[in-house]
Structure 1
Amino acid sequence: MCSEEPTASGLAADPPPGLEYHPQLLTARDEAGLLARIDGADSPWLDDLSRRVQHFGFKYDYSNRRLDESARIGPLPVWLTQLARRVRMAASQEAKCVLDAQRPFEQAIVNEYEQGQGIAPHVDRGCFGPVVATVSLGSAINMDFRCDTTGAGYVQRLEPRSLLLLFGNARSMWRHGIAKRRTDIWDSQKITRDRRVSVTFRTVTMPDIEGG
């Protein structure tokens, strides 16, 4: 069961258990450097989805919703390894207890969200490990959470240079998504979206890959 109960508005008063938000993981200079790297001349952008993506470590098969050994691309590049290290350092002790200290993040995906783009509500597949970590660059955006068992909802504002960690119930029992719209309402204000880029880190858990 999801432990959060909906309020009269349908939104939970507190975030789902296991949702951890760090608003200032990066400096503006860090952010600019990462965006320059992501948008470099040799950037491996793919446009086979409604949004552009880059895959590192393993290329996720969106059609079959699975990973196997053929999906392995190779180790994460140095710049992503350095960012992943900062993510682990920022995590709370509770999150670090879930993260395997001997197991680095093996997969990263870079998503680009232009104005009006989003992603359908979902729970990350079981082929990925117990912690999902997302670093936000560029525009701020609202991420919506919904618990299927209680109907409770929650909205997390993702500011640029922030870190979102999902583990426990927030990882496995609450769907998260981004509505396809050009504006968000936050603090009773209508805010226009701009281009947002996210970097999401995950470990891989399939027995055939672990054994390989």
Structure 2
Amino acid sequence: MMDSSRQKGTERNMKNFEVGHLPTLIYIPDFITESEETHLWDKIYEAPLSKWKSLKNRRLQDWGGVVHEKGLLPQDLLNYLNKFGICRTMSITVPPWLTKITQRVYEESGLFPSDINHVLINEYGPNQGIMPHQDGPAYFPVVAILSLGSPVVMDFTPHSRLKTCTNSWCKPEEETLNGESVDANGASDMIENHHPFSVLLMPRSLLIFKDMAYSDYLHGITNNEMQPYDEVINKAVAMMPDKVDQSSLSLGKAVEVNDGKGFKVIHRTTNRISLTCRMVIKVHKNLFKF
């Protein structure tokens, strides 16, 4: 656990990286170095094929355990059960190269109440994305996403429950957001203050979102090689000359092009890897109490 004085200091530092109109969206360019990116990339692909799980639009590695609506079955418990044939899972503990980066995210952000205990490593092809979604109640409402490889644009859209309210009324079942009551005027204000937006995720960057950005928005990536970035909320930071390694937009990673209509577009030409770091609130040490 981090001491309170240090946590307050890191939280103040995080304010320097806030982007957009939400105070809970943080973008840190070059969170890791190019050599660290290469090291992580190599380690990820050194994992045995059986560690990968293939989905419709991507494949992933799951580190830390199995997340269930009731909490987390940690990796060490799964490995113990595996010895007795009770649970069929790869008997691999979270590797040091991964805990090193999650510990760094935890310490430097100061936004997690305790150590990060779950990481999803996602691999996306140039034309692959992920549908708009929320991460659910099993996690503490903070997400940190470290990007490797190709740049990509992530879209945030207001949750559909916000659209059920109008300027004059709000459906009874939708009268609360995040556990707080909302009157008609408050509902109208919420709608006006919730607008879709997009964020450009450059390689080696860290995106953190929490609170309203976590609970009131869906986030996703379109299944498209060509992604316009003119309207992203962090363009000034993400595309600063001293922050953009030109190899990020060349050498097969991505190419910056013009779509013929005056809009700048990133053409994704190679894979992107994301490390989604989260903290599951409930960790079960006893299978019989799960």
TM-score (norm 1): 0.80
8 Å Cα contact 2:106-2:115 kept in structure 1:
no
8 Å Cα contact 2:57-2:124 kept in structure 1:
no
Aligned residue number for residue 185 of structure 2: none
Aligned residue number for residue 95 of structure 2: 77
Q: Which has the higher helix share?
A: 2
8 Å Cα contact 2:30-2:206 kept in structure 1:
yes
1:52 is aligned to 2:59: yes
Change in Cα spacing, 1:46 to 1:152, as seen in structure 2 (3 Å) is: same
How far off is 1:48 after superposition? 3.9
How far off is 1:80 after superposition? 1.1
Aligned residue number for residue 202 of structure 1: 278
Identity score, percent = 31
> In the TM superposition, what are the counterparts of 1:1-212 in structure 2 within 5 Å?
14-40=20-46, 42=48, 44-60=51-67, 66=69, 68=71, 71-74=73-76, 76-91=94-109, 96=110, 98-100=111-113, 103-148=114-159, 149=162, 150=191, 152-187=195-230, 188-193=263-268, 194-206=270-282
How far off is 1:171 after superposition? 1.2
Change in Cα spacing, 1:47 to 1:160, as seen in structure 2 (3 Å) is: same
Give the partner amino acid of 2:213: A
How far off is 1:45 after superposition? 1.2
Listed one character per residue, the Cα deviations across residues 113-151 of structure 1 (whole Å, up to 9, x for unaligned) are 101111111111100112111100000000000113235
8 Å Cα contact 1:145-1:153 kept in structure 2:
yes
Give the partner amino acid of 1:206: K
How far off is 1:89 after superposition? 3.6
Change in Cα spacing, 1:67 to 1:192, as seen in structure 2 (3 Å) is: farther
CA distance in 2, matches of 1:209, 1:153: 40
Give the partner amino acid of 2:99: T
Give the partner amino acid of 1:169: M
How far off is 1:15 after superposition? 4.1
SS of match in other structure, 2:54: coil
CA distance in 2, matches of 1:178, 1:154: 12
Give the partner amino acid of 1:99: F
Gaps of 5+ in 2: 1-18, 77-92, 163-190, 231-262
SS of match in other structure, 1:46: strand
Change in Cα spacing, 1:208 to 1:89, as seen in structure 2 (3 Å) is: closer
8 Å Cα contact 1:17-1:168 kept in structure 2:
no
8 Å Cα contact 1:133-1:202 kept in structure 2:
yes
TM-score (norm 2): 0.59
Gaps of 5+ in 1: 1-12
Which of structure 1's runs of 4+ aligned residues deviate more than 3 A?
A: 66-69, 206-212
8 Å Cα contact 2:71-2:281 kept in structure 1:
no
CA distance in 2, matches of 1:165, 1:179: 20
What's the C-alpha RMSD, in Å, of the aligned pairs?
Answer: 2.4
SS of match in other structure, 1:206: coil
8 Å Cα contact 2:71-2:283 kept in structure 1:
no
CA distance in 1, matches of 2:95, 2:203: 22
SS of match in other structure, 1:99: coil
Change in Cα spacing, 1:79 to 1:73, as seen in structure 2 (3 Å) is: same
Give the partner amino acid of 2:95: P
CA distance in 1, matches of 2:279, 2:53: 22
How far off is 1:68 after superposition? 4.6
CA distance in 1, matches of 2:285, 2:196: 35
CA distance in 2, matches of 1:49, 1:15: 33
CA distance in 1, matches of 2:283, 2:266: 44
Report the number of matched residues: 188
Aligned residue number for residue 167 of structure 2: none
CA distance in 1, matches of 2:71, 2:212: 26
